Structure 1
Amino acid sequence: MDEESWSLSPDTRKPLPELIEEKLRQLIESGRFRSGDRLPTEPELAQKLAVARSSLRTALQRLQLQGIVEVVRGRGWYVRSTDVSDRDDALVLDGRIDDSDLMEVRIALEATAASLAAMRADEGELDEIEKRARDHQTASIEDKDELLRSDEEFHTAVVKASHNELLEQLYRSLVPKLRPYRRNSYGSPEVHVRSANDHLQVAWFLKRHDEGGARTAMTTHLLGLYNDLAAQSGTPASKRAELNTYVMEEEPRWHER
């Protein structure tokens, strides 16, 4: 394949990971890579595209969320599906839905995913989730793309370990809508530390197959992001949902303040 076919779009209005994602979509759609094919290694892809590996990983992670590619431990990235239609829009969302509403749905989805993963994940999947939590913990605070990539890889691993295909599809549809906010949320070391510690706590409960603990830990983690988002958007405190996580409750319950 000639070098020109690997050239990225010159559209400087888009973030680099998005341009890389578009190029990889084009290569798959053109038949250059077919379902089941192994992609070149990350160093090879980065060299062909003339990009940093951190940006490449972010693009691959975005495609993974859409079910187009998948990573096989110790073997690399593979094409999972050649259907490269815009899967971010698989769930048609009303344009009036705000990020706080999306976060409330995301909390419900991922709390369920964590509970199911505690029951269904095998040891390899649990090790992978813990590794993703460590990767996020050690990601550079100066590299927002790396923080976002490692964050999404952790959450994707938990959702995948739920072994619920519909839940995974819903997750893929919702998460990209929140990506700009999530990337910009890493504005201070404190946010990163809190996020990393929360991930490790979720992984701890999962390793012990504690359904209730995993569900509550994931909910508490996402509730922190939800409250930050609601505050930034100016949502009055009286209109925000608050989560009751007292141990006397059988499960977290939403109620209005």
Structure 2
Amino acid sequence: MDDESWSLSPDTRKPLPELIEDKLRQLIESGRFKAGDRLPTEPELAQRMAVARSSLRTALQRLQLQGIVEVMRGRGWYVRSTDVGDRDDVLLLDNHASESDLIEVRIALEATAASLAALRADDGELDEIAKRAKEHQTAPNDDKEELLRTDEEFHAAVVRASHNELLEQLYRSLVPKLRGSRRNSYGTHELQNRSASEHNQVAWFLKRRDEGGARVSMTTHLLGLYNDVASHAATPAAERATLNTYVYDSEEDEPRWHRH
């Protein structure tokens, strides 16, 4: 393959992982790689694109979230689907929908996914969710791309554990549209700690197969982002969703009710 075919777009408005994602999608859509094909190794891909492996891995994981590629342990990355043209729009979502509208739909989807995961996830999937929560907790506070990647991986793991393919497809349709607000939500150590703590709460309830607790703790977590976005959009408080929430008590090692 000629080197030129691996050159990234010069668009400086996009973060590097998104430029890599665009290039890989382009190569797959062009027929360079077909469904079932094994992609070059991560070191080889990074060399061809002249990028760091961390940025490459983020791009691959985003494509994995969209169902375009998949990783097979010990074997590498494979093309799962060549239908890349509309993978970001599994649903034909209104491009003019507000972020608040999108997050309200996301809350409904992920609350249901968490509830189903508490009932259906196997032990390996629960361990994977806990691992993703830990990765997000230990991500560098000043690396927004890593915070976004680990956050997306955690939520995607919960959605996959619901074992509902349609729900997963609906979730995939929302991920790209909310990426900007999710990235911008990071910036302070306090916000990262809040996000990490709430991920741990969700994992706690899932580990105990608590369907109701998993649903409510996921809703609580997403309401934080929702209220941040609604505040910036000047949405009247009376029109915002609210909920009695769980708060994690480290001394008792279990969540307790907190009424807002």
> Do the structures match in fold with TM over 0.5?
yes
3-state DSSP class of the match of 1:156? helix
Q: Is the 8 A contact 1:54 1:145 kept in 2?
A: no
Task: Say whether 1:191 aligns with 2:191.
Answer: yes
Q: Is the 8 A contact 2:217 2:245 kept in 1?
A: no
Q: Is the 8 A contact 1:58 1:149 kept in 2?
A: yes
Post-superposition CA distance 1:74-120 (Å, at most 9, x none)? 44322111111132122122233210111111011000001111111
Distance change (3 Å), C-alpha of 1:95 and 1:9: closer
Instruction: Give the deviation of 1:66 after TM superposition.
Output: 1.6
Q: How does 1:1-257 map to 2 (within 5 A)?
A: 1-245=1-245
Gaps of 5+ in 2: 247-259
3-state DSSP class of the match of 2:149? helix
Distance in 2 (alpha carbons) for counterparts of 1:46 and 1:184: 27
Distance change (3 Å), C-alpha of 1:19 and 1:128: same
Instruction: Give the deviation of 1:49 after TM superposition.
Output: 1.1
User: AA paired with 1:79?
Assistant: V
Distance change (3 Å), C-alpha of 1:163 and 1:137: same
Instruction: Give the deviation of 1:14 after TM superposition.
Output: 2.6
Distance in 2 (alpha carbons) for counterparts of 1:188 and 1:57: 25
Distance in 2 (alpha carbons) for counterparts of 1:74 and 1:209: 31
User: AA paired with 2:143?
Assistant: D
Instruction: Give the deviation of 1:191 after TM superposition.
Output: 0.7
Q: Is the 8 A contact 2:72 2:78 kept in 1?
A: yes
3-state DSSP class of the match of 2:243? strand
3-state DSSP class of the match of 2:242? strand
Distance in 1 (alpha carbons) for counterparts of 2:244 and 2:217: 13
Query: Matched residues, percent identical?
Result: 80
Equivalent residues, number: 247
Distance in 2 (alpha carbons) for counterparts of 1:201 and 1:244: 15
Post-superposition CA distance 1:2-47 (Å, at most 9, x none)? 2222111222233222211111012212333222223233333222
Distance in 1 (alpha carbons) for counterparts of 2:73 and 2:127: 11
Distance change (3 Å), C-alpha of 1:94 and 1:186: same
Post-superposition CA distance 1:140-170 (Å, at most 9, x none)? 1111111101100110011011110110011
Distance in 2 (alpha carbons) for counterparts of 1:73 and 1:132: 17
Distance in 2 (alpha carbons) for counterparts of 1:119 and 1:195: 24
Distance in 1 (alpha carbons) for counterparts of 2:50 and 2:230: 39
Distance in 2 (alpha carbons) for counterparts of 1:43 and 1:147: 23
Distance in 1 (alpha carbons) for counterparts of 2:87 and 2:128: 25
User: AA paired with 2:105?
Assistant: V
Post-superposition CA distance 1:220-244 (Å, at most 9, x none)? 1111111111112111111211124
User: AA paired with 2:136?
Assistant: H
User: AA paired with 1:173?
Assistant: S
Post-superposition CA distance 1:188-228 (Å, at most 9, x none)? 11111111111111112112211111111111111111111
Mean Cα deviation higher: 65-74 or 165-174 = 65-74
User: AA paired with 1:104?
Assistant: E
Q: Is the 8 A contact 2:142 2:187 kept in 1?
A: no
Distance in 2 (alpha carbons) for counterparts of 1:10 and 1:171: 30
Distance change (3 Å), C-alpha of 1:41 and 1:137: farther
Distance in 2 (alpha carbons) for counterparts of 1:158 and 1:205: 12
Instruction: Give the deviation of 1:245 after TM superposition.
Output: 4.5
Instruction: Give the deviation of 1:58 after TM superposition.
Output: 2.4
3-state DSSP class of the match of 1:243? coil
Q: Is the 8 A contact 1:133 1:203 kept in 2?
A: yes
Distance in 1 (alpha carbons) for counterparts of 2:153 and 2:74: 16
Distance in 1 (alpha carbons) for counterparts of 2:219 and 2:234: 22
Post-superposition CA distance 1:108-140 (Å, at most 9, x none)? 100000111111111111111111111111111
Distance change (3 Å), C-alpha of 1:72 and 1:216: farther
